[in-house]
Structure 1
């Protein structure tokens, strides 16, 4: 649910009320403290705190659930929650329990529906780049192929929030760099385990993709997600660095660890048709950071809303919604992970501009918007509990399966 309102109050969301501890999803939100009271913080694990409070937004009162994480504490870390395949989804609680997480929230926007392409299944794959435990899982889809609200000016599907091997959080941009070397040519690789490939390109799919169909990868254009699927496609299967089979259209099914599938569309398809069974083909790929050059232990897609203490220009200040956002302060050593509540009394939420203002008021220097609406969810684990507890009310009435999330994990 979203609500439109007039401009003029952008970024002026105000933290007003603190709620009592011990509330679980499904319970009434009560125990408000006077405006301006210092929010209580509950320590749920070494280096990890949790609190709740109200925010006065222009469209109404929003209720926030906030995790604070001290990355300087050697007993805690942050990583990517994911179901084991790029083209798969699971609820945040299931992802967190499988990882033994202390807490977690939902992550990137994703390919949730394909009503524009009848007969082509949605992949469930995320929009942006993803790195888990230092391993590159995927690259970003073209800007025109993304799902989610309009991107702020100057941002891109390649933008990420991540934590480097130096245990510092940062905002960055991760671009795919790769090649396909054939007996006749050296081609640029323009896709890696992503649900949409650029026009006239060649993309690679590995075991990390999963078993979902690759057909969606050749649908739409660089500027229009709903454009028809390409009729000029080709797929080549490599094993042990050699071509073992080919097909006139993208296939499906699990990809073995020793196998890479190349999918081409338009000019990319023409180039792949030059290959014959037995040809030697070498595929290389990596994600190149635009920032510090520190390798990423974890990275996830979305879009930035706050940089160096200043909200980005052009942030939406007219559409209020339930949202998830992550930020940091202290040079990237202190994380702030916020999820709004989707209960009926609070479902009006915040605008993106108000979200940025809220994170700045909490002390964040930088902040990054993740998927929201029915995807917004926060879970935490009580000491000794065998399963996590959902702390906010999902706005759809139940947990929505998502492709990934941000996990707060015990170190080691």
Structure 2
């Protein structure tokens, strides 16, 4: 939540409390002994003065048989509890992922890559992404959709792939991975809409309204404003192809803000302590951290973006990205000897919110590095 600063007198005692809180974060945490979840993967809990309770998954990405994994419920526009998604992915531990179109399509805002397949992305906006490459090293970079739509009239860029909102004037591409959400929700408020259904490289249906439209087993193009005008020239039977450039890595997930870059805090200022989730990488990309912060309670008030960046830097992170926070912040893990997952943080809503995606770790047997 953005805090507006007013010119008012603040009691000296209140200033002292804030100063003490800031000075003590993230220094001198009370840290529990790490719990080994798998070879190269540990879970550690930290209690910071403030108070703030932070849970951290630390992974050595070079460990044979350990790999980062993108999680979702099976389609892009569906939601499920993180523990269910982790079970489905065969994960050992995970945290919640990207911010999403809550209450509408429920689709994530940014990029998602699973096992080298690009599931969703934008050409512009919400591009800051945590990427794990084929070299088993991680990095924070801006990932932009590079996709072209070839029509009889020429080639046009796609503005979105399986996104909850088509960019103004753009053309969004929706594939069977999208799921059951009404594509009419992706162009709410648009001045001019065109929906075109493709099958086997040709137009099979075109309409001036996207309400009730779903891809099913087809590909659907949704245009708005200038994009709608471009698609309006199409007729049933016209050839249309969509080409998407190869993704940036094997696993990726977007967030709302880079908070640490080259060891320096670049987090946005003016935000109050809150529940938060973040991902960080060491300078060489070989080590990865996933952290959740409890908040909105007397036991843990949460952290600001700046304090979270400082905490991750203290662990050794060189770059870090903020993921969805608030009621979405969740960490699950399968502890040694346990049959299933347990929630390792204290979600501020008191339960696991249903979310569209997450990121975590799984193990594979006899994997060559």
TM-score, structure 1 as length reference: 0.80
Counterpart of 2:25 in structure 1 is 13
Counterparts of 2:138 and 2:124, CA distance in 1: 25
Which of 204, 207, 219 does residue 247 from structure 1 map onto?
A: 207
Post-superposition shift, 1:240?
0.2
Q: 5 Å matches for 1:76-155?
A: 76-113=66-103, 122-140=104-122, 143=125
1:306 matched to 2:256: no
Counterpart of 2:41 in structure 1 is 48
Which of 260, 263, 268 does residue 227 from structure 2 map onto?
A: 268
Shift of the 128–10 alpha-carbon distance from structure 1 to 2, 3 Å rule, reads: farther
Counterpart of 1:367 in structure 2 is 320
- Larger displacement relative to structure 2 (334-343 or 393-402): 334-343
1:74-95 deviations in Å (ceiling 9; x for gaps): 1211110111111111111111
Aligned residues: 352
Q: 5 Å matches for 1:217-228?
A: 217-219=186-188
1:357 matched to 2:310: yes
Counterparts of 1:73 and 1:340, CA distance in 2: 26
Counterpart of 1:377 in structure 2 is 330
Post-superposition shift, 1:174?
0.9
Counterparts of 1:52 and 1:188, CA distance in 2: 46
**SS across alignment from 2:163:** coil
Post-superposition shift, 1:140?
2.8
Counterparts of 2:232 and 2:219, CA distance in 1: 16
Question: Is the CA contact (8 Å cut-off) linking 2:69 and 2:361 kept in structure 1?
Answer: yes
Q: CA RMSD in A?
A: 2.3
Question: Is the CA contact (8 Å cut-off) linking 1:141 and 1:194 kept in structure 2?
Answer: no
1:267-320 deviations in Å (ceiling 9; x for gaps): 1111111111111111112366xxxxxx401000102110111111x6224411
Which of 57, 64, 88 does residue 74 from structure 1 map onto?
A: 64
Post-superposition shift, 1:330?
5.2
- Larger displacement relative to structure 2 (193-202 or 334-343): 334-343
1:173-204 deviations in Å (ceiling 9; x for gaps): 11111221112222221111111112111111
Post-superposition shift, 1:12?
6.2
**SS across alignment from 1:359:** helix
TM-score, structure 2 as length reference: 0.89
Counterparts of 1:92 and 1:192, CA distance in 2: 23
Counterparts of 2:317 and 2:239, CA distance in 1: 51
Counterparts of 2:231 and 2:4, CA distance in 1: 48
Mind listing any 5+ residue stretches in structure 2 that lack a counterpart?
6-14
Question: Is the CA contact (8 Å cut-off) linking 2:295 and 2:303 kept in structure 1?
Answer: no
Shift of the 359–213 alpha-carbon distance from structure 1 to 2, 3 Å rule, reads: same
Counterparts of 1:86 and 1:328, CA distance in 2: 26
